[in-house]
Chains A and B, each alone.
Chain A
């Protein structure tokens, strides 16, 4: 009974924090996106992804760091306290949320794996300078895409190889390598865990930012930026983007009207973008994490007491 009560409390707190924060993210993402877009594309992509993952990260942190320890340490095991109807309903919702997230993630991974296996049938390895395997596929589309989450590879169609010049091909490959290095496919998989209605706009904004970030990472001068822009245009002409490959990072993933922004951005490339790309957001993040950890270490016992009082109120 103690364990059951603990699980009910943990799932209830999880679902309350998750839904409240998801709702806040739904309401505030447009304003946040406007602010993020003022940053370089790479940081904008990181910020948007962090904002999208915030409900899950915060609810997991609150549950694992506060709710469960406060329950285990402060709840008397001898008292057989019944669980209230609301808590029971909330905990069932929490469990369902976790289950749906897991099923959604596994289904997306399975579907993507089958799609990529279908594309890769009869593929042959191509010599290239990038550190992941580049496979030439028999199909015309997808023209070029980074596939795979734990064993990444780049799929390149013969048609794309034919229409692109050597420089354009190198830039396009570097673009795909940027997706691989930043583990964008894994991030897409993580987004499948955190389903919540009304998040499509934020996810699209993040997707656009990842493409721009990969564009920035792939070019280091105006000539290369024009090569990549030309590659995008040529690949767009090969056909519409594949819509059913959700866990892959295609060179062109949207219609020309959306891609327009990326091409114009590449045409307007300048040195300042190169400087901006090498920021030190990791150090800021590390500093913030240390500061938060230090603050928590000082106030942890007090926080546990308060969380326990709150969960007591919830159970009753």
Chain B
């Protein structure tokens, strides 16, 4: 509970600004559970400079998203939260910002409903296309069977 409290308290403001490099390194750490800078470079981040990875990991540590412990002259970094926990917190933060954006609470909620409706409509369009393509495929197969 303590860690989540810290996470919510200290890291909230900066979560949305998680840059692509930070996201990439977090992903790599989620896959490996924990790693040093050297291990990350060897595990597929070799297009990045050692100092870039080190600085980015340090930034993530300061954002309270990573824990670290000394290992020789380097640090071993471990994600403090799972992917789901982080996603949930980021979504929550986005909703909170939206709700705080207008003095009346009904307006942002109506935006949310609008966005959900748009997404639903888009999803229904995609599903309809899937059904149509499957129908064409089925007709084509039936036609071929008749020919045979």
Contacts and interface: CB of A to CB of B under 8 A. Distances in A.
B134 A267 contact: yes
A229 interface: yes
Interface in A239-258: 255-257
B134 A226 contact: yes
Interface residues of B, number: 13
Interface stretch (A12-20, A35-43, A184-192, A230-238): A230-238
A267 B138 contact: no
B123 A226 contact: no
Q: Identify whether the interface residues of B are mostly helix, strand, loop, or mixed.
A: helix
A212 to B, nearest CB: 16
B134 to A, nearest CB: 5
A267 B136 CA distance: 12
B128 A255 contact: no
Contacts of A222: 134, 138
A158 B138 CA distance: 30
A230 B134 CA distance: 11
B131 A230 contact: yes
A251 to B, nearest CB: 14
Contact of A267 (B123, B124, B130): B130
A128 interface: no
A233 B126 CA distance: 10
B6 interface: no
B135 interface: yes
A223 interface: yes
B114 interface: no
A229 B130 CA distance: 10
Contacts of A237: 121, 124
B120 A236 contact: yes
12 contacts: A226-B131, A229-B127, A230-B128, A233-B124, A233-B131, A256-B119, A256-B121, A256-B124, A257-B120, A257-B123, A260-B123, A264-B127
Which A-B residue pairs are the 7 nearest by beta carbons? A256-B120, A263-B127, A256-B123, A229-B131, A267-B134, A233-B128, A230-B131
